[in-house]
Amino acid sequence: MGRIDRVPPVADPERMPSTRGRVLNHAAGLYDLLSPAMMFWQEQPINRRAAGLLELQPGDLVLDVGCATGGLTESMARYLDAASGGMAVGLDAAPRMVEVARSKHASGRCRFDIGVAEDLPYGDDCFDKAASSFFFHHVDLADKERSLCEIHRVLRPGGALVVADIDVPSGWFGGLCARSGEWLFRQPEIGENIDGKLAPLFLRSGFVELETVYSDLGYVSTWLMRKSLALQPVPG
């Protein structure tokens, strides 16, 4: 079996997948205009830096969870070589987001699937690396943990995960930005991140070697972690 055969194509569902998370299907057309401005034009710099943290090799298979219009997926794909079996796979629950991502970035080293993070449509231990940026503040605490457990499942032992998202604010500016977003979008899921409830889930989901690598804008953190190389206990 070739490397790319570990992640065969996922058929588009006939209907939008069911999830309790915030699905930004309605915002797909404006996302690339509004999202950078709301992040003070730091979203793509943060994405590029996150991709660099993974130390990607040309033949790696890498997953972007909650890919939106594919900015992080494309940043990772630049390190990959299709001829060596490398591919970046972006996954999002919003079909219109995936449609935009495909129109902008789809290539031999970049693919986009429709699906939900809490039930990833991939086999165990099939991706070498994984990443997610600004996804976890769209799902509640239970689905944050379910999604992380799913990412852990599909990562190969020793594989790295990078997450960039809203975190506990530092300073008045960070606090103002974070709480304004929670209030403006009426998202208690953002409040969970602000209250520091995301980071502990990384270790609870089985990841090790957790470190906070970067802090940006006073309310965004970038974390790096790994799936252990140790053999997992056999149930029963």
Q: Which residues of the chain have pLDDT under 70?
A: 1-2, 26-27, 30-31, 231-236
Two structure tokens written together for 132: 């997610």
Q: What is the pLDDT of residues 84-109, one digit of tens each?
A: 999 999 999 999 999 999 999 989 99
| Closest listed residue to residue 97, CA positions, set 71, 117, 76, 119 | 71
Number of helical (H) and strand (E) elements in the chain, helices listed first: 8, 7
The pLDDT score that the predictor gives to residue 235 is 41
The answer to whether the CB of 69 falls within 8 A of the CB of 133 is: no
The pLDDT score that the predictor gives to residue 232 is 52
Q: Which residue segments constitute the domains of the chain, with CATH numbers given?
A: 23-227 (3.40.50.150)
Specify the DSSP class assigned to residue 231. P
Buried b (16+ CB within 10 A) or exposed e, 13-47: eeeebebebbbbeebbeebeeebeeebeeebbebb
